[in-house]
Structure 1
Amino acid sequence: MTGPSRAQIEDVFRREYGRAVAVLIRRLGDIDLAEEAVQDAFTEAVRRWPVTGPPPSPAGWIITTARNRAIDHLRREATREDRHAQAALLRAPAEPAEEGPVRDDRLRLIFTCCHPALSTAARVALTLRLLGGLTTAEIARAFLVPEPTMAQRLVRAKNKIRDAGIPYRIPTEAELPDRLRAVLAVVYLVFTEGHTAGSGERLIREDLCAEAVRLGRLLAELMPDEPEVLGLLALMLLVESRRAARVTPGGALVLLPDQDRGLWDRELIAEGQAIVRRCLRRGRPGPYQVQAAINAVHGDAPAASATDWRQILDLYDLLLELAPGPVVALNRAVAVAEVEGPGAALALVDGLDLDGYHLFHAVRADLLRRLGRAPEAVRAYDAALALAGNATERDFLRRMRATTVAP
């Protein structure tokens, strides 16, 4: 029998990385050692599984192998005095589960890493690395910063945890609200990386989308009275409802106005819209709730031409008040183009400082194309192509560039 391919083993890696690292960090109290041990386990899987076939429980095999690699590392590095104590700790049976409000290993990892001693950006970046196994380059793209800057941020966050002696434990119920903002940011960024992968050949990473939605549902069970928790869950469900229509059978990107709405998942839309209505009744709007409401309006339209862009623009006005920033302003400009025309939108876009963001140039290119300014549009498409990391997005931009010609 032929064993799994490297690609299949990499799929296991993506699914199980966060859980394995969470278990090892809890046991070792050392981020770097946990990550190294899990990476070693997957290297061993790539070597052995094609020959022996996958084990009955790939996740259990990965955790056990990583634990054994950590033991080997401690034996090599520890002094004689503490070597046996450390090895005995690792070989001991698993301790009883800690009591506390957070029971899921991966959700607990997010809460424990989102410690107030770290900056919000550092909390989010570190947990993205540990939870989803995202590369430094992928996280840097999510934050719109250079890769070396993000690498330094991750190192500083790990050092801070080590030097400050921040414990790896379940936060108490009273501590959960203070960490919630960063936790929601982590879950949302995991989802957005799954929705549009920052690199690779495929547009969508279904594993990350599914994991983010799973975590969102757990958060909603854990904190049902937090409107932004519900807003984030609704947002993810409504965006996820369109996944089947976002690419053609051949894998080409399809923009929202051109999607076959018959492929949209109406059950997810109904669930997301019901949650949005619950949020509206509470009267405590937040950024995730408003974004969910925007996507609920899209879900209401039976055809692209029936979209209530005026309502969407009003919601973006509110979002810009709640969460001001250039990316929100860019998305708002897309709505302005539908309500007031591409010229008004371009004037807004040209005032934004987003030169390192590929979607900024893609939006500019589309607006310039619609205004008949083909040479400028081509240059904007070139700028977007130079920054886009995903092959599906690059293919789409090339097609659009090719059809943008001067009269």
Structure 2
Amino acid sequence: MWTLVLNSGSSSLKFALLNPASGEVRLSGLAERLGGGEATIRLERGGEKVSRSLGGGSYAEALNEVLRELDALGIRQEVRAVGHRIVHGGERFSAPVLLTPEVLDAVRACVPLAPLHNPANIVGIEAAQGAFPELPHVGVFDTAFHQTMPEVAYRYAVPQTWYRQHGVRRYGFHGTSHAYVAGKAAELLGRPLPELNLVTAHLGNGASVCAVAGGRSVDTSMGLTPLEGLVMGTRSGDVDPGLHDYLARQAGLSLSEITAALNKESGLLGLSGLTNDLRELEEAATKGHAGARLALDVFVYRLAKQVAGMAVALGRLDGVVFTGGIGENSRTVRAMTLRRLGVLGLELDEHANDHLPRGEAGVISKSVQKKSGQKKSGQGEARDPLALVIPTNEELMIARETAVIVGGRGYAL
């Protein structure tokens, strides 16, 4: 069964054609700057990479380009389902679902909770349904994995009517990635997932950490929107809520202007005054750029605090997992973070961290000797937490969850 996975952003479309069972990828790529000028699409097929421009730059045109590639490969007729990443599903969706008109209406109802993301998801879904009207389409929600959080973790200390009437609570995001790497961590450690307590750190331009107990999310750093939590590429992460009123009075900024700045002009970009690209910041910091060094230090400090805080939600920590573009590739961020987490019993293995091949999973911490006789109640001998690097694969996770829904509905696979 070949599944087409689509991830529609505000001006981009990421796609992959893969086999959910084997993980084999036949076609993947990214269309960027959609809806604006100079839209392009980059494709990879069998190791060959191709890049070309898209005239009008619409989602439909990007999908038509994908269709042409499928025809060229001679496998368009082998596609059996389409899986869509959807950012916000509110409280209604705790699992992937078949995308019916009623479900799409519910996704539209979540637009106020994710005004930058859900509209793009809907546009991508509608374009794909037009291109593949005969296929089942499945929605996989970023928020679904976190619907297992207890009320103590997801409720804000605000008037109850805000929650009951307007859904003001913590939802969390990056759920597909957190779920995937937690499962891979269990495989790497050779232990059953139900027995593991992990903190997973998805670090990219968007970033979040998650406390995963026995394969279930029990807390996470993002909240009502993807703006809460860690310092990110252009997002501020946690700030004092009073900041909005203060800047409105002192700088004459509107609510929408402040929110836009917190989403698009803050984070690593705002701190450094240089860029949101961590690779460029690391290079600039080595050359003495004060803003770049500050951005790195704040990013790591806030990350370490969040990881330590998530350990409280777990009670016992078995491992910390780094993933995402930064987590998988920045040995500097991993090293700086682990040096701050000695309080949790983590000790950096510098050689393992520096020599882990790109794209591979591995352990990057040393085992610290416990005092003799120390045990953990009901768990046998005490174990030290380990730090791991695990490449995420959200497309494969979406394809597998799509296959489960499609198979359960009786579609021919």
With the length of structure 2 as denominator, give the TM-score of the two structures.
0.29
Bigger proportion of residues as helix: 1
Structure whose alpha-carbon radius of gyration is higher? 1
With the length of structure 1 as denominator, give the TM-score of the two structures.
0.29
Bigger proportion of residues as strand: 2
